Chains A and B, each alone.
Chain A
Amino acid sequence: MAKRPFEGLKVIEYGEIISAPYCGRLLAGLGAEVIKVENPGSGDKARANGPFPGDVPHPEKSGLYLSLNANKMGVTLNLEKKKGKDVFKKLIETADVLVENNIRGYMDGLGLGYETLKAINPRLVMVSITPFGQTGPYKDYKAYHINSCGAGGMSIGIGDPAREPLTMPLSQGGYEAGLSAATAVLAALLARAKTGKGQFIDISEVEVWATTHAGQYVLTFLYRGVTGIRRGTHGPQVYPCEIFPCKDGYISLIAPQIEQWVRFVEVLGNPEWSKEPRYRNRRAMAEEYPDEVNALIIPWMMARTKEEILKACQDNRVPCVPIYDIKEVMNNRQIKAMNFFVELDHPEAGKLQYPKGPCLFEKTDWQWNKSAPLLGENNAQVFGERLGYSPNEIAAMKKSGVI
């Protein structure tokens, strides 16, 4: 077996839906031991979210849950009960990382806040993911992904300027917050190797959007007074940054460099209109009459398929590609050449394909050995073998609803 970079790293994940689980997934895919702690009974809320095979809800067949929790061990633990807290503290004693995305203050309220856990294990790195962070006037605001995306400055940039702004599809904010959390955890672990001490990390999903992803727009506001960045199928400043219909779907074209536009016009066959001054002012074309220019190009597009356009443009170094749907992505020749998908078998959901990971590591690549855990699948292993509770004690915990 190839080497796994995080071999030996012990992570406790007490979080649900997307953000904390994606953080755990990034670590688990590179070899960390991730113990996912779920509430007894219903478990991670993602288990109630689809998609489900045949659209029939089943807590062990949630596509969302399955896609985020492979390679993890699963235990159930009720942290509202004293015994549950005691068991959790024992897990923390030997852990390197705790990742959680409960509402702000929930862990403190349980008596399991960072200060308490640090006293048990000073090497612990704890990351809390919340919508607005641990401080500031909105720290206790309730927010789902659409709310964080809106406050984070992304939504205002998506959609038709005459219609409502759109949120990022499929809760992207949860993934981005989890990714920032995982990256910050690694920075804290590298620091711990020198100082011997863990630390607390505060990740705000709103801030992840407002900085790394949408932060550059503050500049266009400051220097140009531009606040409305939503332009439908059009793009700003320089034509073209456009979405076009074609014979069998849609394509996306952008040509920031003048040479790229010239080459695109050549691909079109240097039509007469392209020589008129009105169609040489790329700024006006973008800001004032993009639909008019599009109308001149659409007939060429509609006569061709996505793949024909891709070839014609890319052969001439014009940045233009098809808008692939999920089926086309999964069957794409490039993604297949990269072996991007791995197949895992799950006792309830069966064989499914999962994305391997966001990049390729030459020597320590992603390894997926096991699909997502059944609810409480590893209780005996973790509580018994790992923490040393006897079968009788475990049975008693089960009876009293602790696990």
Chain B
Amino acid sequence: MQSLEGYRLLDFGTALAGPQVGQLLADLGMEVIKIETRVKPDGLRLGRPIVGDDIAGGDDGKWLDMQPMFHVTNRNKLSFTINLKQPGAMDVFKRLVKISDVVLDNSSPGVMARLGLDQAELQKIKSDIISITLTGCGEFGPMRDTLVYAPLIIALGGLESLLGYYGDKIPMNLAPGYGDTNASMHGAFAVLAALWHREQTGEGQHVSLAESYAVTNLLGEAIMDYKMNGRVQGLQGNRHPTLCPHGNYPCQGDDKWVSIAVDTEEEWKNLCTGLGAPEWIADKRFADKNARRQHWEELDKLIAAKTAQHGAYDITDILQKVNVAATPVMNCEDQFSDPHFREREVNVEIQHPIIGTEYVYNNPMRLADMPPTIRRPAPSIGENNDYVLKDLLGYSQQEVAAMVERKIIF
């Protein structure tokens, strides 16, 4: 048994933030049905797949089902294609809502209402339904219609103003889509909180998640500093308010680095001996944490000169043996082959009917008795129409054929 078995979520998510909510929950056993239509597929299904010409060549009619980026955030899900704008479609869809627990979307404010699927309408169909909408800036207010993507979410939320080299002025871009992924993780939490409440009281409700402010929610230190001291924190670099040294230092090889952080005096002494520089221990410039912080740049240069003589994994090993916090700054290639990541199956090998062997990242919520599982690859578009229409909703083959004919199912 899995922890969320027995719950059903209807997933209108597109791109990253919405679908990842469904994915996180599906990994834990929830039945997640992706609601799609060929009229307007999820953008991640579109374009030339990055799988290579040997696989992607030939029939581009299959491209919708060959997108690795789509596959990671939609594994474990079922796909049901229904064009809700087609006459008669809503009657079918309402029957599905009636046997579901959660409706998820990350469309712009007002879209679900225009479909007739906002909380007020959904509740008429199923009184204890839960719905969650992820938007950039919220569903009401003067900036609710702001058009955003992940980098803009962290710009509006305040995080971007902290992201850059200490002493510089211009912030740095953040390659991973943290504005989206932070929202999806909070979204999964919110869905389960609402389900817990429903289990206690029988009451459903709507949850509204503003992605920009889900980011602001994690900036307590900077918010407090502003309120307490009127100080507006700027680019943080790799500096830490109390730990020093604290940085990413160069190693042998192309773009190879080791991260090192020191809190206690014991760790400092161990770092000095570990790096083969015991003379630093008696150096007055580095006598204690405050002194080290005052001479931060000098110290960083000295450490960099030492780490540059080692490989990132070697120096990590040397420093960990003397109880100093150090790790390689890993790229995706390092992670893919790393023995620790392999043993814990951080990336999972699965079989996809068209692509063959593919890899999807695992789910970090490791419940010991009911661990997350990757049970099936992402669905091809409309793969589970029969299951939804016949098994769940009890339509006959003839009725289904009629719906296909009328492009309700499309």
11 contacts between A and B (CB under 8 A): A148-B327, A153-B332, A168-B163, A200-B368, A201-B366, A207-B364, A321-B146, A355-B217, A355-B223, A359-B214, A364-B194
In B215-242, the 8 Å CB interface with A consists of 216-229, 231-234, 236-238, 240-242
Most chain A CB neighbours (cut-off 10 Å) among B199, B232, B327: B327
In the complex, the answer to whether B171 meets A323 with C-beta atoms within 8 Å is: yes
Complex-state Cα separation, A360 to B211, whole angstroms: 11
Task: Say whether B1 faces chain A, with CB atoms less than 8 Å apart.
Answer: yes
Number of A-B contacts (CB under 8 A): 494
Range for the number of chain B residues in contact with chain A? 35 or more
Residues of B within 8 A of A144 (CB): 240, 243, 246, 261, 263, 325
Residues of B within 8 A of A176 (CB): 182, 185
Task: Say whether B28 faces chain A, with CB atoms less than 8 Å apart.
Answer: yes
* Chain A residue at minimum C-beta to C-beta distance from B153: A321
Binding site secondary structure of chain B: mixed
In the complex, the answer to whether A358 meets B238 with C-beta atoms within 8 Å is: no
Task: Say whether A305 faces chain B, with CB atoms less than 8 Å apart.
Answer: no
User: What 4 A-B pairs are tightest by C-beta distance, nearest first?
Assistant: A63-B224, A215-B361, A67-B220, A157-B175
Q: What is the 8 Å Cβ interface bit string for chain B, positions 161-182, against chain A (1 contact, 0 not)?
A: 1111100011111111110011
Task: Say whether A232 faces chain B, with CB atoms less than 8 Å apart.
Answer: yes
Task: Say whether B315 faces chain A, with CB atoms less than 8 Å apart.
Answer: no
In A221-249, the 8 Å CB interface with B consists of 221-224, 227-236, 241-243, 245
In the complex, the answer to whether B158 meets A324 with C-beta atoms within 8 Å is: yes
Given the known inter-chain contacts A333-B142, A358-B214, please indicate yes or no for A243 contacting B187, CB distance below 8 A.
Answer: no
Q: Which segment of A134-142, A277-285, A394-402 sits at the interface?
A: A134-142
CB contact between A26 and one of B52, B189, B200, B369 (< 8 Å): that residue: B189
Having A153-B332, A156-B330, A329-B156, one finds 16 other A-B pairs with CB under 8 Å, namely A51-B224, A53-B229, A68-B220, A146-B243, A149-B259, A154-B176, A165-B248, A188-B370, A190-B195, A230-B255, A235-B173, A250-B161, A323-B160, A349-B228, A353-B227, A355-B220
Q: What is the 8 Å Cβ interface bit string for chain A, positions 286-320, against chain B (1 contact, 0 not)?
A: 00000000000000000000000000001001111
Task: Say whether B401 faces chain A, with CB atoms less than 8 Å apart.
Answer: no
In A320-336, the 8 Å CB interface with B consists of 320-330, 332-335
Residues of B within 8 A of A358 (CB): 186, 189-190, 209, 213-214, 217
Task: Say whether B72 faces chain A, with CB atoms less than 8 Å apart.
Answer: yes
Q: Which segment of B84-92, B275-283, B339-347, B385-393 sits at the interface?
A: B339-347
CB contact between B172 and one of A160, A186, A207 (< 8 Å): that residue: A160
Task: Say whether B403 faces chain A, with CB atoms less than 8 Å apart.
Answer: no
Complex-state Cα separation, A195 to B7, whole angstroms: 15
Task: Say whether B22 faces chain A, with CB atoms less than 8 Å apart.
Answer: no
* Chain B residue at minimum C-beta to C-beta distance from A222: B359
Q: Which segment of B133-141, B291-299, B376-384 sits at the interface?
A: B133-141
Query: Nearest-CB distance from B391 to chain A (Å)?
Result: 23
> Chain B interface (Cβ within 8 Å of chain A)?
1-4, 6-7, 20, 24, 28, 50-52, 68-69, 72, 119, 132, 137-138, 140-149, 151-152, 155-165, 169-178, 181-182, 184-190, 192-197, 199-201, 203, 205-210, 213-214, 216-229, 231-234, 236-238, 240-243, 246-250, 255, 257-261, 263, 320, 323-333, 335-336, 339-341, 343-344, 346-347, 359-370
CB contact between A340 and one of B181, B213, B343 (< 8 Å): that residue: B213
In the complex, the answer to whether A55 meets B176 with C-beta atoms within 8 Å is: no
In the complex, the answer to whether B1 meets A207 with C-beta atoms within 8 Å is: no
Complex-state Cα separation, A348 to B252, whole angstroms: 50
Residues of B within 8 A of A187 (CB): 3-4, 28, 192, 365, 367, 370
Complex-state Cα separation, A357 to B250, whole angstroms: 38
Given the known inter-chain contacts A55-B229, A223-B51, A363-B205, please indicate yes or no for A321 contacting B327, CB distance below 8 A.
Answer: no
Q: Which segment of A36-44, A84-92, A177-185, A383-391 sits at the interface?
A: A177-185
In the complex, the answer to whether A153 meets B330 with C-beta atoms within 8 Å is: yes
Query: Nearest-CB distance from A200 to chain B (Å)?
Result: 4
Complex-state Cα separation, A335 to B221, whole angstroms: 18
Residues of B within 8 A of A242 (CB): 173
In the complex, the answer to whether B236 meets A170 with C-beta atoms within 8 Å is: yes
CB contact between A6 and one of B196, B243, B257 (< 8 Å): that residue: B196
Complex-state Cα separation, A166 to B346, whole angstroms: 23
Most chain B CB neighbours (cut-off 10 Å) among A7, A160, A254: A254
Complex-state Cα separation, A245 to B255, whole angstroms: 28
Most chain A CB neighbours (cut-off 10 Å) among B173, B222, B234, B323: B173
Complex-state Cα separation, A349 to B76, whole angstroms: 48
Complex-state Cα separation, A369 to B17, whole angstroms: 31
